[in-house]
Amino acid sequence: MIIDGQAEFRTLLMHHVTTHWNDAIISVYDPITAGDLPDEFSGAGNDIVLLGDDQGERDGLHTLKLFVKTPGFPGVIYFGSGERSQAEHARKIGADGYLQRDQIHHDAFTIMLSDILRARRRIATTDSLFVGDVGTGIYPLIKGYRLIRKLSAGEHSAVYLAERESTKINIVLKVLRQDPEVADSIGTFDRFLQEYEMIADLDHPNIVKIYALGVADDHAHIAMEYMPGGDLKRRIEKGISATDAVSYVKQIASALAKIHSVSILHRDLKPGNIMLREDGTIALIDFGLAKRMRLEQAITGSGEIFGTPYYMSPEQGHADEVDERGDIYSLGILFFEMLTGEKPFRASNAMGIIYKHLHAPVPVLPVEHAEYQAVINLMLAKKPADRFQSADEIAGWF
């Protein structure tokens, strides 16, 4: 959980966390607009609290003192001005870690966070949850499947290429590690099930096919379609023709229209979450940040900010109301990148990228792709009201 009065700082911390733990679930609280958290706030359901010193009318160190005196409160990293006296005071009160808010170094931050989680929870972290070679017994044994290799891993889950023994067909297994010693293991498991439930019934050619959900004593897994063509990120690096880029955009838009029709926002469109099949078609994967909701409901009502800064809509990056038009903006960023091989907005840090999404002009395509500029303008308009209002509208422009 991130608690601070500055939206850009909250988003910066979110970026550092999700860069290292891409399946992290982050809640964000703004004490300036929402008011001070009650004195009885227990931090329940959170693994760690990132507490900034911008707490509105209440002194940040006083807030820290209230938190740490609460039995069972999660670990706390305090972000302050960097003054030695403040750092010493924060540690004396009981902060598990202290960092200067305007000089956060990614590696130092993630190492500190990992160490606190390890000390607090006494379980392996990202790099040691799944170790050893497949077949040694260190990896989870899942009846009916033969694990071939690990594709990726996060703090709570890992993704494997596996073979279904009954059919000898390759599939992908997303495996959740459950641990009874972890206070939030039930909440994490519920979120894992929610991801399955959101997409299991979606029958669409451009959404990953879900085959099964399995639950064992110490882990759960989702079996899904394996797409050997790799992800869109790799495809972009090799270069994409305008014809293929248009085809991909239309397919993604069709998938978005489907999920939006059942009140699901993806909220994390990026090249790594789009996979290619052998026949050249594509499919959306990884709905870990998606949320079923009434589309007109403001995400800020629950204090949540999600996404990846390079592909994040202006409203998403500034914790404003988000609806399906946020996904359309992210698709516009993807389309620009597919056509040019370059991300339209770059900066030295995440806050700079978020600033450009809101304030920099809509990017201009090279002259050879000028025919698509009107579509880019409608997808990347700063105000949601000036964009395509639904994903269904996009295909008609090609």
In this structure, the chain runs to a length of 398
Bridge partners (DSSP) listed for residue 173 = 160, 223
How many alpha carbons fall within 13 Å on the CB side of residue 115? 10
Other CB atoms within 10 A of residue 147 CB = 18
To which H or E segment does residue 177 belong? strand 169-177
Find the catalytic residue in 268, 286, 323, 327: 268
Scanning the chain, the segments in alpha helix (DSSP H) are 7-20, 31-34, 60-68, 84-93, 106-121, 185-200, 232-238, 242-261, 314-317, 324-340, 350-359, 373-379
Other CB atoms within 10 A of residue 173 CB = 25
The token pair at 327 is 């996904």
Instruction: Identify whether the C-beta of residue 93 lies closer than 8 Å to the C-beta of residue 61.
Output: yes
B/e letters for 386-398, b = 16+ CB within 10 Å, e = fewer, are ebbeebeebeeee
Q: Return d(Cα 242, Cα 106) in angstroms, integer.
A: 36
Instruction: Identify whether the C-beta of residue 88 lies closer than 8 Å to the C-beta of residue 81.
Output: no
Q: What share of the chain is helix, strand, coil (3-state, %, to 5)?
A: 40, 20, 40
Q: In what order do the strands lie in the sheet with 157-164?
A: 145-153, 157-164, 169-177, 219-225, 210-215
132: left (phi over 0), alpha (psi -120 to 50) or beta: left
> CA Rg, the chain, in Å?
22
Burial class (CB in 10 A: 0-12, 13-18, 19+), 194: middle
Other CB atoms within 10 A of residue 351 CB = 17
The token pair at 146 is 């033969």
**Is 268 known to be catalytic?**
yes
- Catalytic positions are 268
